[in-house]
Structure 1
């Protein structure tokens, strides 16, 4: 797999979502679709199955129940990708390495790990906009 794929005459980037990013879509008033368009151009969204499982678990906890349920509804339309990793972070790194994809996350430790592997990361800056760190 490659991070760029062609459909028709358009080149698409692979953007992989972490649970922190998906939940962020419901916490701040950033137009994440518009921001991804601005940063990446044409893209396809992927969600590792381990991330979907994290959201399913969160949807059973009182504190995050509504956001996690909304997040699960949102990701129904996104492409799912399997990885044998035991943790979501490990799966995100593995998938990003395989696809040369860009990971969207607000997890600072995961961001460091991705950058140490030479991978691109998108994160929220100042609750106002998304930033691409290549």
Structure 2
């Protein structure tokens, strides 16, 4: 999961975990849906969460949601690079970031992103 995926509940009114359960099956709460967040994404959310702007509120909520995921260290310090580093094509990446999405699809990684008003869909490479 990347930064904007975790901010979608506030910014786009998307219930990310519910949508992922619908698309992929399983449940975060029951531990049958393993969601991974790079440490660089958590760091970015922490930086963005200071202040009172809507972005800061979304980042704060995203940071709380990240606590429900497994945090993984990478060699990359930039969040998008960390997401790419972790992607190997066998799992999905959740992002609403167009440039990152293109990078992932070019690498053969399926991407879950927002479709419609508040739903998610899978794009296969």
TM-score (structure 1 length as normaliser) = 0.79
Q: Name the residue aligned to 1:8.
A: none
* Long gaps (5+) in structure 1: 1-16
Runs ≥4 in structure 1, deviation > 4 angstroms? none
Task: Assess if the C-alpha contact under 8 Å between 1:20 and 1:105 holds in 2.
Answer: yes
Gaps (5+ residues) in structure 2?
27-32
Structure 1 CA distance for aligned equivalents of residues 45 and 15 of structure 2: 21
Equivalent pair of 2:5/2:16 in contact (CA under 8 Å): no
CA distance in 2, matches of 1:56, 1:71: 9
What SS does the corresponding residue of 1:118 show, helix, strand or coil?
A: coil
Query: In the alignment, what sits opposite 2:114?
Result: 124
TM-score (norm 2): 0.85
Provide the secondary structure at the position in 1 that maps to 2:11. Answer: coil
1:96 to 87, 98, 107: 87
| Shift, 1:80, TM fit | 0.3
Counting strand residues as a fraction of each chain, which structure ranks higher? 1
Aligned with 2:2 (options 18, 34, 41): 18
- For residues 80-111 of structure 1, what are the alpha-carbon distances to aligned partners after superposition, in whole Å with 9 as ceiling and x for unaligned? 001001311111011012x7221100000000
Larger Rg: 1
